[in-house]
Structure 1
């Protein structure tokens, strides 16, 4: 079953946001791409189990909000399903070496993302 796997948090000030989430929830951050202002974070559940992972970067546009991503086996299959179910696919793109993502709207106008792991993405 598809489930939430990643939550992107856009920021205006990365260091301020990292400090806020670390001080509040003890989130751990790593910077996998030295050339980008983007950090990955990991969370821990209330019982100590690994929680949802996510990313934090600079806000791309004034309206950009937190976006939750659902892991799927195939972007193409699920973008078709989303449109047939009455949703919209706003854009899709590769993340080279990592996978593919698409940003979508559900039938209620809520934004969400889907993600396909694929290390051969270009």
Structure 2
């Protein structure tokens, strides 16, 4: 069953947001891309189990909000499924060396993303 695997948190001030979430919830941050002001974070559940992971970077546009990503085996396959179910999608985008994503809108106007792990993504 597909589930949420990544939450992308847009910020106006990355350092301020990191301090907020780390101090409040104990999130741990790492910076995988030296040339980008973007961080990956790890969370834990109430009982210490691994929680949803995510990313945090600068807000792309004023209306950008937190976006949840659902892990799927194939972005191409799910783009078709989402459209057939009445949703909308944008084109697939590569995150080189990591995988593919597409931003989608469900039948109720909610934005979400789909993600496919693929180290060969270009």
When the two structures are superposed, what TM-score results if normalisation uses the length of structure 2? 0.99
Unpaired stretches in structure 2, ≥5 consecutive residues: none
Deviation at 1:92, TM superposition (A): 2.4
Alpha-carbon distance in structure 1 between the residues aligned to 2:75 and 2:65: 22
Task: Map 1:60-99; keep pairs closer than 5 Å.
Answer: 60-99=60-99
More strand by share: 1
Report if aligned partners of 2:76, 2:92 keep a CA contact under 8 Å in 1.
Answer: no
Which residue pairs with 1:50 in the alignment?
A: 50
Report if aligned partners of 2:13, 2:58 keep a CA contact under 8 Å in 1.
Answer: yes
Equivalenced residues, count:
122
Alpha-carbon distance in structure 2 between the residues aligned to 1:68 and 1:35: 24
Kindly report the root-mean-square deviation, in angstroms, between the aligned alpha carbons of the 2 structures.
Answer: 0.5
Aligned partner of residue 50 in structure 1, secondary structure: coil
Unpaired stretches in structure 1, ≥5 consecutive residues: none
